[in-house]
Each structure stands twice: as C-alpha cells, then as structure tokens.
Structure 1
Amino acid sequence: MNASVLIASHYGVVHFGDLECEAVVLKGGERGYVRRQLATLLGFTERQRGDRFTKFLREFVPKSLSCIEKEEVTILLPSGQKAQLFPAGIIADLATAVVDAAVHGTLHAARQKIVPNCMKIMRALATTGEVALIDEATGYQYHRAPDALQDLISKLLRQSSGSWERRFHADYYRAIYRLFGWKYQGHDRNPPPVLGQITLRWVYGPVLPAELIDEIRSRKGITQKHHQWLSDKGLSRLESQIHAVTAIARSSVDYRDFSRRCEAAFGGGALQLALLADEFEEVA
C-alpha cells in the first residue's frame, strides 16, 4: 500500500438518485470516491469494511481488484480528514454484476438488501455518465483541459442530430435475445433494460470514450438515439462494432460466456480518450 497522501484538487458529493457519496478529483485528473462511503452504500458497516469488502469486490469484479489495490492511495479531504480512494470506472460494473446475480438467482440471500442501491447506481449512470457525474459534483468540469475532447467531438459527432435510420438490425437483436433464451419477434417498443445496458457497454463503450458518450447524452433529446449524433466516422466505428458484437453473441453459449468473450476481445469495454486521440493523430 502506498504510504503517501495525495490532496484532492476537487471535491464534491455525487448523487445516485437519493444516495450520496463523496467524490474527488486528484491533481493528475484521476477521479474516484471515498472508499468508506461507497462501501456503506453497498451494505458494509464500519466493522465489516476491509477484508469483507475486498472479498466482495473479488467476487463481483475480480478483474478490477488488482487495479483497485494497485491504485489504492490515501487522500486528504478539504475537511482535513484522510480517506482511501476508490477509483472511478468500476462502480458501474460492480452494480451491474450484483443485479445480474440477483436476476439469475445466484446472489446470496444476505446481499439481496443491496440490490435496490445497485439499481439506483445503475439508473443514475445510465442517465448521466460517471465522468460527468463526478465532474459536475466536484466542479472539475470547469477546469479540465478541453482540447483533446473538443477535437474528437468535431471528428466523431455531428453539430446537430441526424435523421433516424436503423443501425441495429434484427440479426443483432436475435443474437442478444438468444443469450437469455428469449425469442425475438420483431421490433420491440419496450425492449428489456438489459439490452440497453449490453449495447452501451459492448457496442458503444469499446469505440467511444466515456467523455463522448456523456457529450451525446447532454445533447440528445428523450426520443433521439445515440447514433443520430455520430458523424460518418463515428457511424463507421459503430457499425463495425455492431458486427463484431453480433458475431460474438452468435457463437456464445449464454450471457456469461458472451460477457467473458467481450472482455477478452475489447479489454473491458472502456475506451480511453487519450487512446482514441492518439489513433486519430496517427491516421491524420
């Protein structure tokens, strides 16, 4: 564990519905939460934190645990109190894994009580991206360097919404529905919520960084779809990813198998802004 203490340059309280959690941004731009508060939201009392919380993380987000332990640092809050940082980028996967376990009937009875909080976290992040939530709560949105983001916005997003065209065809839906043993019967006006979560995580996530998805959310109307805001370059990336995800879904045994294959193929499904900026620099 790193013995150094880092000072939070920006601090605020993130709201997941009616839940509250202290959030910080460090000088290097790393975002995260106060670990003890996040543990409380997930049902761990003061006495149960530590080993039990680590065991919980190992069960639901094993691939992220090494990242949490590696980046675990002590931070100094404006109040003068010291706290442990829980890095951003993991809470959505953690909440989703808990809810998935509840849906599949594999969640331990003692953990059923945290499902409502996990659903509140998922709903909040579905409406506003995690980066935007933290930046708004801490005021960091007024201090971050805009150059790289604005450059990518100009390349991948339109100035105004385009007309709607079908981008996700029946083959995609049939392949995803089959993972759950459902039969796709044509266009569904009220598709199951898990479909939107899969699409956001494995179609949009690997080809658009979180900052661009947040920008689309801030622009689009209630009835508009994300892809209506993509430029030709953005649509090209999207369509290639739809084909890739469809192929993986077709060859997967079930949702767990599909998720593992996507993790292996797309590295967790979270494209970083810097990586995409570098890619466009090379192409230019």
Structure 2
Amino acid sequence: MLTASHYGVVHFGNLDCEAVVLTTGERGYVRRQLVKLLGFSERQKGARFAAFLQEIAPNSLSSLNKKEATVLLPSGQKAQFFPTGIIADIASTVVDSAIAGTLHRARKGIVGNCLTIMRALAATGEVALIDEATGYQHHRAPDALQELISKLLRQSCASWERRFHPDYYRALYRLFNWRYQGHDQNPPHVIGQITLRWVYCPVLPQDLLGEIRNRKGISQKHHQWLSDRGLAHLESQIHAVTAIARSSVDYPDFKRRCEAAFAGAALQLGLLLDEFDEQANHYEQAL
C-alpha cells in the first residue's frame, strides 16, 4: 500500500480538495474530494465517474487506471489516490466543450467549478499548490530541482509531433488581426516569443529551459525534449493560454491578463521579458 508522508488542503479559488505527497515524492489528491471538487455529488462513484472520464478525457482515464491505488494517510485512514496532471485535462476539456457547444446538458453544472480550477492552475502550478498546502516545500531535498529536470526531460530528442493545435494559433493571430492560413504557414517571430513567455516559462524551471537550449539542435523544438510528464504540463498551459487569448480583446488586453494569471512565474524571466516587450511593442506600432 502506498503511504502519504504529507497531507493538506489545496485551495482552487473558493474550492478545496485534500492533497497528499507520497513517500516516493509523487503528488496527488484524495479521490472522493476530487469528485466533489469537479462539481459532482460525493455519491457519484465508481463506474459512473469512470464513464464521465471516458467521455471527457479518455487518455486521462487510461492513465488513472494505471496509477490509482489505495493510499494510507498520515491520520491512519485509507483513501484512493488520484495523481496530478489529470485534473487540468478534465477541466480544460469541459470548458472547451462548453465553448464549442458540444458539452452534454447534464454536464453544464460543472463548468463553473472547472473554470475556477483552470484559473487557479493558471496562477500557480499544480505541484506548487500541493507543496504549499501540504508543507512539502519545506522538506524537499536540495537536489529536488535536478530530480525534477530528470523527470521532465527525455534522454534523447523525440521525433516531431504537432503539440500546438491550430486553435492556439488562431487565437493568437486574432490578437493582431492576422489571418491564420494553416499548418504550412511559418508563424511570425512574435508568436514564437509569446509561446516561450506564456506557455513554456510559467510551467518549466528556467534551469530546465536552459538545459533544453543546450541540448536541442537548430531544427528541433523545445517540446521534443520533454518527457510524458513534461508534455502534460505543457498541454495544460497551452489550454490556459488559448482560453485567455480567445477571451482577450487585443494583444495589450491579452498581455495584461497573462501578467495577472502568471505573475509569479513572470517575475523570474528577467531580461528575457524586457527583450520580448521591445519586440512586441514593435509589432503593436506596426499594426
């Protein structure tokens, strides 16, 4: 049986969920609380909740089936462990389906909770939320960052796969009144800088980004060096940035919203942000 070394309550805005850190260092949630967090009745268990996951996030259900297990809490009680990474996939898919008008009417009651979850994850990373809630941030080993890098990076470059959906580019192009013409179009340099600033930097440590830059070849992309866990963080952030871009009036509005959502991470970017602002201002003046 898995054992939790740290326990606490994570606050997603005005929503709460019990979280744990296992003795292995893996973070996650108490399943019964997570079901309630998503807006379901605590009585909605087992096959019914699995059916919801199969409909909304089948890839996450497959991952959950491999990882979900009974965990012993510090209190001595037993609970089902729900690993990190899945909640962001569920929340973003529900919100995207609601925007597209494809969400089943029986699911509309959980949209508000999913929006709250997405806003909280956009402001603070999922791992950071759990570490703060459980106090684990004060017990991490000095080499925790190096361990994190080893978990988020691949040993060798993966073959290229499309990670950024056309909807992401359409949302960004709209901010500049540009027309997105499809996969074959090379994005303007400013789009790449937006991706670095608001997708990669808020979710990946600067040391990790530096390691990627040292490893990758000229034609390789950052995401080709990310492990499955790193890609999960990346995809969650892509969803968040796409949602902000869709709801923004123009680039200055988008910039303000991102600065508010990712302020903690943005403060760490230093000169990179100053350089980007000069480039972005150039584009704004050219419009």
- In structure 2, the partner of 1:185 is 177
**Offset of residue 136 of structure 1:** 0.9
- In structure 2, the partner of 1:33 is 29
1:21 aligns with 2:49: no
**Offset of residue 96 of structure 1:** 0.4
The structure richer in helix per residue is: 2
1:102 aligns with 2:109: no
* Paired amino acid for 1:109: R
**Offset of residue 8 of structure 1:** 0.8
**Offset of residue 266 of structure 1:** 8.0
**Offset of residue 199 of structure 1:** 4.4
**Offset of residue 150 of structure 1:** 5.6
In structure 2, runs of 5+ residues without a counterpart are 150-163, 179-190, 235-287
- In structure 2, the partner of 1:251 is none
In structure 1, runs of 5+ residues without a counterpart are 154-171, 187-194, 217-229, 246-261, 273-284
Note closer, same or farther for the CA distance 1:55–1:239 as it changes in structure 2 (3 Å cut): farther
Among the aligned pairs, what percent are the same residue? Answer: 60
**Offset of residue 47 of structure 1:** 2.6
Q: Contact 1:177/1:183 (CA < 8 Å) preserved in 2?
A: no
Note closer, same or farther for the CA distance 1:232–1:145 as it changes in structure 2 (3 Å cut): closer
Provide the aligned C-alpha RMSD in A: 4.2
Q: C-alpha separation between the residues in 2 aligned to 1:30 and 1:108?
A: 33
Note closer, same or farther for the CA distance 1:59–1:147 as it changes in structure 2 (3 Å cut): same
Q: Contact 2:40/2:110 (CA < 8 Å) preserved in 1?
A: no
**Offset of residue 240 of structure 1:** 6.3
1:145 aligns with 2:141: yes
Task: Tell me the alpha carbon deviations over residues 141-164 of structure 1, each in whole angstroms, 9 at most, x when there is no partner.
Answer: 1222232516989xxxxxxxxxxx
Q: Contact 2:7/2:20 (CA < 8 Å) preserved in 1?
A: yes
How many residues in Structure 1 have an aligned counterpart in Structure 2?
A: 204
Task: Tell me the alpha carbon deviations over residues 146-198 of structure 1, each in whole angstroms, 9 at most, x when there is no partner.
Answer: 32516989xxxxxxxxxxxxxxxxxx9x9844379958426xxxxxxxx9xx9
Task: Tell me the alpha carbon deviations over residues 118-148 of structure 1, each in whole angstroms, 9 at most, x when there is no partner.
Answer: 1111111111101111111111112222325
Task: Tell me the alpha carbon deviations over residues 65-85 of structure 1, each in whole angstroms, 9 at most, x when there is no partner.
Answer: 122111111112233321101
- In structure 2, the partner of 1:60 is 56
Q: C-alpha separation between the residues in 1 aligned to 2:33 and 2:167?
A: 39
1:270 aligns with 2:193: no
1:75 aligns with 2:71: yes
Note closer, same or farther for the CA distance 1:180–1:122 as it changes in structure 2 (3 Å cut): same
Q: Contact 1:15/1:21 (CA < 8 Å) preserved in 2?
A: yes
Q: Contact 1:210/1:270 (CA < 8 Å) preserved in 2?
A: no
1:42 aligns with 2:4: no
- In structure 2, the partner of 1:278 is none
Q: Contact 1:32/1:85 (CA < 8 Å) preserved in 2?
A: yes
Q: Displaced runs of 4+ in structure 1, greater than 3 A?
A: 150-153, 174-184, 208-211, 230-241, 265-268
- In structure 1, the partner of 2:205 is 212
* Paired amino acid for 1:212: P
Note closer, same or farther for the CA distance 1:179–1:271 as it changes in structure 2 (3 Å cut): closer
SS class of match (2:94): helix
- In structure 2, the partner of 1:255 is none
Q: C-alpha separation between the residues in 1 aligned to 2:142 and 2:202?
A: 14
1:118 aligns with 2:80: no
**Offset of residue 270 of structure 1:** 3.2
- In structure 2, the partner of 1:130 is 126
Q: C-alpha separation between the residues in 2 aligned to 1:234 and 1:34?
A: 37
Task: Tell me the alpha carbon deviations over residues 78-136 of structure 1, each in whole angstroms, 9 at most, x when there is no partner.
Answer: 33321101111111111100000000001111211111111111111111101111111
Q: C-alpha separation between the residues in 2 aligned to 1:111 and 1:175?
A: 23
SS class of match (1:131): helix
Instruction: Tell me the TM-score normalized by structure 2.
Output: 0.58
Q: C-alpha separation between the residues in 2 aligned to 1:23 and 1:95?
A: 17
* Paired amino acid for 1:40: K
